A and B are shown apart, each in its own frame.
Chain A
Amino acid sequence: MRRLIASLAIVASSALIAAPVLAANPPPATASTSTPAAKGLWLLTDYPSQTVRAGETTSIHFKLQNMGLAPEPLALSVSGVPAGWKIDIMGSGQPVAAAMPAMNDNVSLQLRVDVPKEAKPGSHTVTVHAKGANQSIDLPVTLTIGEIAPAKLTIKSSLPALRGTPRSSFDYNLTVTNDSGKDLTVALTAQAPGNFQTTFTEGYGSNEISSIPIAAGQSKDIKIKVTPPREIKAGDYPVLVKVSAEGASAEQRVTLQISGQGKLSLTTKDGRLSGEATVGKNADYTLVVTNDGTAPLEDVEMSGSVPTNWKVEFNPKRIPSIAPGEKKEVQAVVTPADKAIAGDYVASFRAGARGDSANADFRITVTTSTMWGIVGVGIIAVALLVLLGFVARFGRR
C-alpha cells in the first residue's frame, strides 16, 4: 500500500515536472534533432539527403508523427522547389494538402519529385511544411541530381556442363542475384541451337516461368531444362542463358555434352508384317534391322517368341555391329508345330543390343498340307472303283 502511494507520487511529480518543460521549450523544428520520449509533432524521413535522376520521378517517403498532442488539421506545403521541378505531396496515392495524425500516431506521406530532363547537376534543398493552428514544423530535404546506382544482375551456375544421350533431359540449376538497390522483375531467356527445347522453372517448383521477381540484394534459384531433339548428333551444344531487367542483364553459358545413342528398328523388307507358313515346314521371312540412332550398335542379338512347340531360328543370330543409318538383313526361319491348327498366329521378333531393342509382331497364317485332301479324293475314287468292280462282277443279262 505504501509502495503504491510512492509510485503514484513519482508519476505525479514527473507529470508536474514535464508540463513546465513542454511549456518552456517548444518542439524542435526538425525530426532529426528531436529528443526521444518527447511530446510534440515531427516530420520524419529515413534519408533526408537523397539522389534523384534528371528526367525521372522519385518518391521520398516521410511521416508526420504526433506524440501526445491533441489532433488538429495540419496544412502541408513544399517550399524551395527549383524552377521546372514538380513536387507533390501524396497520401495513399492521392495528392493531399493537409494531414491530421491522431495522438501518438503517424500519417505516411510521400514526396513525389518530378525532375526535368534538363535539370543541371547540383544540390537543391526543398522544405516540407506542416502548419496547424498551434504547431508548425518543417522538414528540409536535400536532393542531389546525380547517377543512381544502376540495376545489376549476376547469374551463376553450379554445374555448367552436363553429359547425356539425346533422350536424356538436361537440368541446370542457376542462381540469379539482384545486386542493385531496387526490386526487379527479371526476364529469363535462353539461346539454344535449333529445335532444342528450353523451359525455366523456379528452384524446386514445377511451374514454367518466363520471369521472376527478385527483391533488392536477394538471390533466387531457378532451373533450366533443356531437351535436345532425338535425332541430334553427338557433340557439345552451348546454351546461353540470359537474365535481364530494366537495362541490366547477365549471361551464363551452359553446355550439353551429348553422346550418341543407337536406336534399333525392326521391320521386313517390304514392310509387310504378315506371312504364311505350312504346318511342319520351314518358312523364311527376311527381316531388316536398322540403326536409326546416332551411334553404332554393337552385338545385336536376334530372338523371337513363337507359339508353343514352334521353332524359330535366325540367320545370322548375332550381328556384330550396325553403323548409324545402316540396314542389315536377317533371315528368320519359322517352323510351325507339327500339330498346329490352321489359322492366324502371332510371332514376335526382337532385336536387342545394349541400350536399345526393337520388337516386331508378325502375323503368320498357318496352312495345312493338302495331302489329306488328296487322300480324301483317293478314298472316293476307291469307292467308285469298288462300285465299277461290282458292276462288272454282277452285271447280268
Chain B
Amino acid sequence: MPRSAARREGSPFTGIGPVYLKELADNLSSIRMLVLTLFIIVFGAFPVASSLQQLRTVVGSDAFLFLRIFTIEPEQVPIPFVQALNFIIPLMAIGLGFDLVNSEFNRRTLSRVLSQPLYRDALLLGKFLAGITTLAVAMVALWLIVFGAGLLLLGLPPRGVEVARGIGFLVVAVAYGGVWLAIAMFFSVIFRSTATSALCSLGLWLFFFILWPMIAQAITMAFVPAEITSLDQFMGLQQLGLALQRVSPGTLFSEAVLGLLNPETRTLGPMLPSQMRGAIMGAPLPLDQSLLLIWPQVTGLIAGMIVVFTASYVIFQREEVRA
C-alpha cells in the first residue's frame, strides 16, 4: 500500500498525548488496577516481611544487606521476593493488557475514537505506554515499600551501589512487565473476544512457567549422544539447554535479577573448572561488570517487547475498524 504512506499527513504520533493521559487516568482509577496493585503488594509483602525478620537476626556483616531482602529465601515462606515477582508481574501485565484493544471494539468506541484527528499508531502506542507507566508506578511503589521497610527494620541506610542495583532491578522488572503487556495486547488485537484473549495470554503464561522448562529439557535430552566423550560436548549440551530456557521471558528476568541483586554472580551459564581456578569466590563484581553480565538478558527483554509490539501494530493496522 504505497499510496497510503503517500496520503499520510503529519506525524503518525500526533494525538498520542491525550490517548496516553486518558488511558493512564482510566488505568489508575479503575477498580481492576486497585485489585492488581493490592494483589502484587500483598504477594510481595509477605516474603519481604519474612526476609526482614530473618535479616534482623543476622550478626555477620554483609556489604549488600539491602539486596538480600530481595533475594534471601525466608524460612517461613518457601519463595524469595524476586521469585514471587517473577510469577506475579506477568499476571499484572496480562490483567492490564488483555482487553486493551478488543474492549474498544466491543464497546463500539474504536471507530468513534479514530474519527478524532489521530492515527491508529498513536492510539496503540499511547495505550501501550500508558500500560507500561501503570506497571512502573506499581513497581516503584512496591520497591519503595521494600526499601522503606528495610530502612525501618534494619536501621541502616542502603549504600549507593545498592540503590543503583535496586534501580537496575526496577528497570528490568518494568521491561519484563512490558513484554507480557505487549503479549497481552497482541492477543487483544487478534481476538475480538476479551475472554479468548485473556485465556490465550494466561495460557501462554502457564505454558512458559510450567510446560516450557520440561519441553526444553526434553529437547536437550534428544540431542544427548550415546556417550558424552568430551567436556566441550557436555558444555555444548548445557548451553543448548540454557538457550532453550531463555526463550521464556521469566528465565531472562530471573537471570538478570540474579546478576543485579547477587553481586557475587560471575556468570549465568555453566563454568568450567579451568575458569574457576585462581578465582576468588564470593568477591562481588563491580556494578558495570554485573550490568555487562546481564546485558544480553535485558536486551532480550526490551527487544522482545518491541518485536511483539511491532507484530500487534502490523495486525492492528491491517484490521477493519468499522463495525
Give me the interface of A with B, judged by CB distance under 8 Å: 306-310, 337, 339-347, 363, 365, 367-368, 370, 372-373, 376-377, 379-380, 382-384, 386-387, 390-397
- Are A370's CB and B292's CB within 8 A? yes
- Are B295's CB and A372's CB within 8 A? yes
Give the residue among A308, A341, A367 with the most B Cβ atoms within 10 A. A341
Residues of B near A396 (CB, < 8 A) are: 1, 4, 8, 119-120, 317
Q: Taking CB as reference atom, which chain B residue is nearest A342?
A: B289
Whether A394 contacts B303 in the complex (CB less than 8 A), given A344-B279, A372-B296, A373-B292, comes out as no
Residues of A near B278 (CB, < 8 A) are: 306-308, 310, 345-347
B60 within 8 A of A: no
Residues of B near A383 (CB, < 8 A) are: 302-303, 306-307, 310
In Å, the complex CA distance between A368 and B288 comes to 10
B238 to nearest A CB, angstroms? 14
Whether A390 contacts B296 in the complex (CB less than 8 A), given A306-B278, A347-B278, A379-B303, comes out as no
Give me the interface of B with A, judged by CB distance under 8 Å: 1, 4-5, 7-8, 12, 119-121, 266-267, 271-272, 274-275, 277-280, 283, 285-286, 288-289, 291-293, 295-296, 298-299, 302-303, 306-307, 309-310, 313-314, 317-318
- Are B299's CB and A379's CB within 8 A? yes
Closest 4 A-B residue pairs measured CB to CB? Answer: A307-B278, A376-B299, A344-B283, A394-B317
Q: Taking CB as reference atom, which chain A residue is nearest B278?
A: A307
Q: Taking CB as reference atom, which chain A residue is nearest B303?
A: A383
* Cross-chain pairs A/B with CB under 8 angstroms, 12 sampled: A340-B275, A341-B279, A342-B285, A343-B280, A343-B283, A344-B279, A346-B278, A365-B286, A383-B302, A386-B306, A390-B310, A396-B317
- Are B266's CB and A337's CB within 8 A? no
B19 to nearest A CB, angstroms? 15
B44 to nearest A CB, angstroms? 28
In Å, the complex CA distance between A123 and B164 comes to 109
Residues of B near A309 (CB, < 8 A) are: 274
Whether A394 contacts B313 in the complex (CB less than 8 A), given A341-B275, A342-B266, A387-B306, comes out as yes
Residues of B near A344 (CB, < 8 A) are: 279-280, 283
Residues of B near A308 (CB, < 8 A) are: 274-275, 277-278
Whether A380 contacts B299 in the complex (CB less than 8 A), given A391-B12, A394-B317, comes out as yes
A103 to nearest B CB, angstroms? 87
Residues of A near B288 (CB, < 8 A) are: 367
Residues of A near B4 (CB, < 8 A) are: 394-397
